[in-house]
A and B are shown apart, each in its own frame.
Chain A
Amino acid sequence: MHYRLIAPKTAYCLLILSFVAFSKSSSAQDGKALFQSNCASCHNPVRVVIGPALKGVTDRVPDNKLLHSWIKNNQTVLKSGNKYFTDLYNQYSKVPMNTFPGLTDPDIDAILKYVNSYTVATPGNNGTPTATESDSTLLYGILTIILAVIMLTLLQVNSNLKKLSDDKEGIPSAEPIPFYRNKAYITLLILVLFVIGGYFLVEGAIGLGRNKGYQPVQPIFYSHKVHAGTNQISCLYCHGGAWESKQASVPSLNICMNCHAAINEYKGDKIYREDGSEVNGTEEIQKLYSYTGYDPKSGKYTQAGRPIEWIKIHNLPDYVFFSHAQHIRAGKVQCQTCHGPIQQMSEVRQFADLSMSWCVNCHRTTKVDFPDSAGNTGNKFYNIYEKFHKELKPGDSITVEKIGGTECQKCHY
């Protein structure tokens, strides 16, 4: 370290003080805080953002003094005609870097130290394959079969023992009948098959045209678990139509690219398909780039884009009217009420069967949100019904059905 005179020292202290006052809670030597408040909007230690990735910058520019003067005021370095920096400037499409006259030499050293020691966090392995969840049915099935086999064996043993004791006592036994010709066995089997067959027939008939559990393979493995769960993006960020209109709307590609122009690799917890195989998130983002015609290296759209043909999962027949806006804005229904725990689904499946009884059940049980004495302003949409509500005895509540929620013409017209 160099020894300094008192005067520059006080100036230096003042500079630091002014810096601390400016950027609030960050000590002068805290490289991470300094980096984030000054550099991070254009630079990342390991990735190209607007400017180059900074890790190893001291190896690329060994002259420490030159690097410091570049960071403080890059314009003077450019004017002096330094070849390395002029090339760099041209390479990053001549976007001028901000000047940082407020940064001191120790500040810059702290930033460089942080940048060079930066390591990428390794992805965790919290997400387990979802296939293990449904294994219990198989276990129960095997148990049932084993128990049935034991029962049959014991019955056989029992009849053998009975035959032996009968022989001993001299009672003549009837000719043994094999079990597949035994009338009792055959009747039982027919009954069981009838019940099982009837069950599947009825279930199948009800299930015609219903799609509960439908989970198609989409053109890109888009995980709602990563976007809406881990990263807490609001449903309405992409499906803004749900607030405004009948359709929830599938986002167009520019909405994906709001974030994915910058996020070009996946580094979170491992993600799995429904069958348990692992998904390479970075590859799926590359698929998005191939649809949009975006070149992540140059950061420009080099080819014409084409839309992704997502497969629609929730389909209502044409004779049913359903409006998203009416339900989530006036009715204040959460998305998850009908779509299930979507923030935990890697691959979206249809959660509700979307049958009429399912709709009507909800309309029968959901209470209308009226203003109450506790200060809750309630849902202003239903103000016209408030008079009737007041005429009823206190404590009574009105369901959606009472205000016409099960009238045929509400949904079928």
Chain B
Amino acid sequence: MKKLFTISQFTVFGLIIAGCNGIQREPSRVYMPDMAYSRAYETYSVTDFMKEELKRDHNFNYSNIPVPGTIKRGELFPFALTKDADGDSTNYVASKKIQNPLPPLNTLDSTEAERLYLVNCGICHGPKLDGNGPLYKGGDGPFPAKPATLVGDARYEAMPVGQMYYSVTYGKNKMGSYASQLDTRQRWMVISYIKSKQVANKTSAPASSSSDSTAKK
């Protein structure tokens, strides 16, 4: 009898301790959630329209693409060229003629452009624009293809801005489209930033030693 009591005590203690270490996979309970849940449609909430969509198509989308031709307030005019079909490069070649509509970046803009570059481009093309970001890491990173060396490669230094814009908008080779992450103005800002770094590198290159390809201000 006494033995049984001791054993049961041990089990209860054990259960309490094991309970403390659990991973909480379910949300906790609520008590009278007055005004806690939104009556209005919040971001990523499932609406009645979505439920109908789900019934009809067995599918729905949280974030829909705006109606074609929509221009956001303050946004630049959309890119005149459409994406080339597979194996065609007519529009890619035609994009050479397109010019940057933005005036040269002022200090505030270029800080913002640098931030945009580091957030969106730096992981592959490298914070120093040397085509060796943390995703490639000189061939040791997970990305299988070498990203373009934006500073220090004559091919990309001679590349027209329009063609760069085409690549950022629609993607090129293994690079995806960045049209959903950067709006038209931001894309041109990033390209201005890259071009300014290339110019800075070219002017400083003869002075500095050739082994250091980092762009200096």
Contacts and interface: CB of A to CB of B under 8 A. Distances in A.
B17 A41 contact: no
Interface in A202-259: 207-211, 213-217, 231-234, 236-237, 240, 246-247, 249-250, 252, 254-255, 257-259
A258 B25 contact: no
Interface residues of B, number: 65
Interface in A259-288: 259, 261-263, 266-268, 274-275
Interface residues of A, number: 67
A141 interface: yes
Contacts of B63: 252
B42 to A, nearest CB: 8
Contacts of A315: 27
Contacts of A349: 24
Per DSSP, chain A at the interface is loop
A93 B87 contact: yes
A234 B124 CA distance: 12
B36 interface: yes
A82 B35 CA distance: 74
A41 B146 contact: yes
Contact of B146 (A24, A40, A210, A240): A40
A207 B87 contact: no
Interface stretch (A44-52, A367-375, A396-404): A44-52
Nearest to B21: A134
A233 B146 CA distance: 17
A6 interface: no
B43 interface: yes
**Most chain A beta carbons < 10 A, residue from B18, B36, B87, B147:** B36
Interface of B: 10, 13-14, 17-18, 20-21, 23-31, 33, 35-39, 42-44, 59-63, 86-87, 118-120, 122-124, 134-135, 138-149, 152, 154, 173-178, 180-181, 210-211, 213
26 contacts: A25-B211, A32-B139, A36-B138, A41-B146, A41-B147, A44-B145, A49-B174, A138-B18, A208-B28, A208-B31, A217-B25, A234-B119, A234-B122, A236-B119, A252-B62, A252-B63, A254-B176, A254-B180, A257-B176, A258-B178, A259-B135, A259-B143, A263-B142, A266-B142, A275-B23, A315-B27
Closest 5 CB pairs of A and B: A40-B146, A258-B176, A317-B36, A141-B17, A318-B38
